Chains A and B, each alone.
Chain A
Amino acid sequence: MSRPMVDLRGIHKSFGTLEVLKGVTLEVEQGQVVVVLGPSGSGKSTLLRTINHLEKVDRGYVSIDGDLLGYRRVGDKLHELKEREILKQRTHIGFVFQNFNLFPHLTVLENVAEAPLSAQRKQKKEVHQEAVRLLARVGLSDKENAYPRQLSGGQQQRVAIARALALSPKLLLFDEPTSALDPELVGEVLDVIKDLASTGTTMIVVTHEIGFAREVADRVVFMDDGVIVEQGSPTTVLDHPQHPRTRAFLSKVL
């Protein structure tokens, strides 16, 4: 059968003596949307960051579309890849940060075009046309020449999404994409993500927006204290949670 798009096996990660991920195993099929829920400090961001190798794992492995991330397997040994090769692997994974991290000195268009230009797969003109198309897709056609600081938070996050899409990634990771936004701006960003979900983009979304999870997720994963406590369809996990920790968490956020 077809292999999963994302395959995480027994991921362990510690910061000093603090073990943040205690053996996380997760598979995501092509085109699936997985929403990760969990209390603060449970390791959700760390998990996302290990998926594109912004954090190195201590044990376990991450593979995206069959490619082992950050390592090359030779026999029964894993050889660490050079930074250049890791950077290349990352071009297949889009990451959207909680606080946008747009490049403030570049215009909106330049922000979106930066990664494809550096990957040098296409001509500059082609890259710009593609960037214009992506900005239209997130509803920002009129802001091409603005600088990020001239935009609202919601607009900035939509630019960040367009930027993450610019390399046509196989997988999109969102780390609380709406938590830094004013309530009235959350909707416009979620709408863009919903639109992406409906077009079959594989996504892992960390969020506290339960309504969004219910509407968009194919699967909801509940994490606590560095492990996946339970997972399943939105109705199973959100309406009939099995584990007391899930119930305790949901009773607080719902």
Chain B
Amino acid sequence: MSVSARPLVAAPEDEADPASLKVVPSRHPWRWVGVAVVLVLLAQFIHGLVTNTGWDWPTFRQYFTADSILRAVGVTIELTVYGTVLGFALGVVIALMRLSKSPFLQVVSWTYIWAFRSIPLIVQLLFWFNIAYLYQRFDFGIPFGPSFVSFDTKDLIGPMSAAVLGLALHQAAYAAEIVRSGIIAVDHGQLEAAAALGIPRLRQFRRIVLPQAMRSILPNAANEVISLFKGTSVVSVMAIGELFYQVQVVYGRNARVVALLMVATVWYIAMTTLLSVVQYYVERHYAKGALRNLPPTPLQRVRAQYAALRARAGATG
């Protein structure tokens, strides 16, 4: 029937006009059955979480905001931020090299990506951690000639810098491919129009290409940031006091494994949630113009529903 195509909020009482008749939405009984099943399972799960003493919630509470854990969360965030910023900065450069007209730069870029995607992150990290054994000193000077400054490698690359270096170099290889995929997805006509207008090359990239490439870069980049965030737990092999390492240290002492793993889990979930929210709004920013009209944000949707509810209550009451 054509009635179903009409909006659900029908214009009220206008006697003879069929357009004003009340619309009864079709019923979906099986949806409700599905909802009920899921709710029962969820209730069971929560009941288990609360009543099973194995989860050891008092210990969880004690450690969740303990100083040592908070500091470890800080280190994890620090590693993520450095890894992301340096990784993507280098990634953009590598992507541009790959897209450049110079065959030499293309090969360099391709080789970098090939190498760093081939080496497991943990292997690479351990390699950086042990670099002082390979090269005791770093000399800056004339190649093959005398050196002006010289550093002890152990002073220059501590465990934390080794970890940042490893994460950033690893991240750059993936970031490069994500950025490149975003750039090649931008319609060629855009570059032609920009060139026809005589817009300088750098500005073409910054103003025309990059904002449009961001649409396809962002979801993948967010994936990368989130997986890097959790991936920082790999550096626990280097005895760096990030979240996962710290949790292991604590349960090594008190043997409350489950409670402390939960501490780490909840922190990881909380931070990932935050990142996802940020992602939603950044993506929305770059969707400007790409969609005819932006859909409302969840917050706007809730507000609109609340307003509608109040309007209805006002009308009937």
Contact = CB atoms under 8 A, between A and B. Distances in A.
B278 interface: no
A84 B189 contact: no
Q: Which of A83, A105, A118 counts the most chain B CB atoms within 10 A? A: A105
A52 B196 contact: yes
A91 interface: yes
B192 A54 contact: yes
Contacts of A52: 196
Contact of B289 (A91, A104, A118): A104
Interface string B196-234: 111111010001100110000000000000000000000
Interface string A10-45: 000000000000000000000000000000000000
Interface string B158-201: 00000000000000000000000000000101101111111111
B288 A90 contact: no
Given A54-B192, A101-B190, A149 B289 contact: yes
Contacts of B291: 149
Interface string A92-125: 0111010101111111000000110011000000
A89 interface: yes
A171 B15 CA distance: 64
Interface in B24-82: none
Contact of A167 (B190, B197, B207, B292): B197
B292 A97 contact: no
B299 interface: no
Contacts, number: 80
B197 A105 contact: no
A115 B197 contact: yes
B288 to A, nearest CB: 6
B290 A87 contact: no
Nearest to A52: B196
Interface string B268-290: 00000000000000000010111
A99 B212 CA distance: 18
Contacts of B200: 84, 87, 118
Contacts of A84: 200-201
Nearest to B193: A101
Interface in A161-190: 163-164, 167
Interface of B: 187, 189-190, 192-201, 203, 207-208, 211-212, 286, 288-293
Interface of A: 52, 54, 83-84, 87-91, 93-95, 97, 99, 101-107, 114-115, 118-119, 147-150, 163-164, 167
28 contacts: A54-B195, A84-B200, A87-B198, A90-B196, A94-B196, A95-B197, A97-B192, A101-B187, A101-B189, A101-B190, A101-B192, A103-B190, A103-B193, A103-B208, A104-B212, A104-B289, A105-B289, A106-B207, A106-B289, A107-B289, A114-B197, A114-B199, A114-B207, A114-B208, A115-B199, A118-B207, A147-B288, A163-B197
Name the 4 nearest CB pairs between A and B, nearest first: A101-B193, A91-B198, A147-B289, A115-B197
